[in-house]
Structures are given as structure tokens and as C-alpha cells.
Amino acid sequence: MLIKPNLKDEEIIACLREAYGLTVEKITFLPLGADFNTAVYRVTTTDGADHFLKLRSGEFLEASVSVPKYIADLGIKQVIPPLATKTGQLWTGLASFKAILYPYVESRNGVDTKLSEDHWAQFGEVIKKLHSTDIPSSITKDIPRETFSSKGRETVKAFLVRIESEGGEEPVAVKMALFLKSKSAESLKIIEQTEELAITIQKQPLDYVLCHADMHGWNLILDKENALYIVDWDTIIFALSHLHMRQSIDLFIKAGPV
């Protein structure tokens, strides 16, 4: 969230004092991320310690905090676990938000900073561990499963229709609209193939694994010592592993059009 939510700092400070026993000296809103449902703050306590506060509105998946806590407790140091409240919970309520507190990590993201081969190896090891660890069903029971919905495909098709009559006035928007128009036939072909692939996959017995569903460079961070962390577990999902997806695509290619 790039705009500070309509929430007084005093309310946040009182919440942190009551739930976590923190005496806050300073709170700073951080205009980070494209998620309109999430606001983040840097919280400094009177003893000089810094914390990272996430305020999550709308849908909240308990597993988004319990899963990273569970795998961090297994010794996976690339995951930053949430801190527990005085009653042992991993979050607390604050107005219309769920408040989750973490240790603060001074960092730079994996888009602005080039990751080393060792960082990528660590990343692969963590993801393999996530995919293969048998996490108790009491933690994962509410995690959604991939359904290969047509929602995204329908959105793209509607947008391609829209730009035929609406080019916009802003120069960048006009340029983008012209580019997309020039690629419309290719885009529709890809959508058609994706729809056929979805039908093929849905007919197969599926072997799901637990996945971080928002994996990109901004969610890979490096601290001052170049230690790697994987952050933002809000959208975890049970989905096909890379290997099973590859096998499904190979089957689709061999079978030909549906």
C-alpha cells in the first residue's frame, strides 16, 4: 500500500503495547508494495529495537503466518517468522486490520540487487523444502487449491476487446495499447492454448504441493550481510509442483488440441 491508511499512530502504538508489551518510541509508515489490502510500518521501541509491522485488511489466511512460523522453526533461516503476542498468537486485531509483527530486516530486494548463484541455490533449497515438508493439516486446512480458473483469461480477452475502441490519452497508455493491438492475435492464441491446457490438467489425478503463490524479485530480499530471505506469504496455495506442471504440459503437447 502506497498511501497511509486512515488509522492514527496512537491506535497502533496502543495495540502494540497491549498485545505485544512493546513501548513504542517511533512509528514510520513505509509506502511499499502494490497490495491495497496491506500497509506496513517500521516500529522502533524505546530500547532501540526495530520491528516490521504488517496491517492486513480484507481476507486473511491464518496459514499465511502459521506456515512461515512452522518452517522457520524447522531451521529454515531464509524465512522470517512472525513474532508471538503475549498470549502466543501470531497476530492481533486492530480496527479492520489483522496486525502481524516481525523482526525488522534492513534490506534491499532481488530486483534492484543481483542475486548470486549461492542465493539462487538457497532459494531452490527452501522451495524444495516447502514443497516436500509434511505440514500438519491443522495449519494447512484453510489453504486454497489451484482450480485453473478461467477468470484471468477472461480478463485478458475483455481487455483486448476494450483497447480496440479505447486507446487512452496518456502517451505511455497509447503506446502500450498500440503494442497490444499488434500482438492481439498472438495473445488470443496463447489464451486458447492455455484454456486447452487447463482442461487437460483438470482431467488428470493431481498431486498438489504447498506453494508460495507470489514469488518474484521484490519478495526476495538481502540483508546487510547478504543473507537471503523469502517474504510475503499472504497468498500461499496448494498447486502443482514445477515437475508435475512440466509433465502435464508435455502430455498436452503430445495429445494435441482438445
Give 19-72 pLDDT, tens digit per residue. 999 999 999 999 987 788 899 999 999 999 999 999 999 889 999 999 999 999
Tell me: pLDDT of 9 over 80: yes
Residue 80: burial class (beta carbons within 10 Å; 0-12, 13-18, 19+): buried
**What is d(CA 51, CA 62) in angstroms, rounded to the nearest whole number?**
20
Q: Write out the three cell numbers for 212.
A: 508460495
On whether both 10 and 92 belong to a single domain, the answer is yes
On whether both 122 and 6 belong to a single domain, the answer is no
Instruction: Give the model's pLDDT for residue 40.
Output: 96
On whether both 255 and 128 belong to a single domain, the answer is yes
Q: For residue 130, what are the domain limits?
A: 109-146+185-258
Helical ranges in the chain per DSSP H: 9-20, 63-73, 117-132, 137-140, 151-162, 171-182, 184-202, 242-255
Taking the chain, what is the end-to-end CA distance rounded to the nearest angstrom? Answer: 42
Task: Tell me whether residue 239 is in a domain.
Answer: yes
How many Cα atoms are found within 13 Å in the side-chain-facing hemisphere of 113? Answer: 19
pTM, whole model, 2 decimals? 0.82
Look over the chain and give the mean of its residue pLDDT values, rounded to a whole number: 89
Q: What residues form DSSP beta bridges with 223?
A: 107
Q: Phi/psi at 70 (nearest 5 deg)?
A: -65, -50
Instruction: Give the model's pLDDT for residue 201.
Output: 82
DSSP state of 120: H
61-118 pLDDT, tens digit each: 999 999 999 999 999 999 999 999 999 999 999 999 999 999 999 999 999 999 999 9
- CATH code for the domain in which residue 119 is found: 1.10.510.10
Instruction: Give the model's pLDDT for residue 203.
Output: 81
On whether both 204 and 121 belong to a single domain, the answer is yes
On whether both 142 and 201 belong to a single domain, the answer is yes
Task: Specify whether the CB–CB gap between 70 and 137 falls below 8 A.
Answer: no
On whether both 136 and 221 belong to a single domain, the answer is yes
**What is d(CA 2, CA 197) in angstroms, rounded to the nearest whole number?**
37
Residue 173: alpha-carbon gap to chain centroid: 27
DSSP state of 169: S
Domain C-terminal end among 72, 89, 104: 104
**What is d(CA 217, CA 123) in angstroms, rounded to the nearest whole number?**
11
- CATH code for the domain in which residue 8 is found: 3.30.200.20
142-173 pLDDT, tens digit each: 999 998 889 999 999 998 988 887 766 788 88
Instruction: Give the model's pLDDT for residue 167.
Output: 62
On whether both 205 and 236 belong to a single domain, the answer is yes
**What is d(CA 57, CA 10) in angstroms, rounded to the nearest whole number?**
19
Tell me: pLDDT of 252 over 80: no
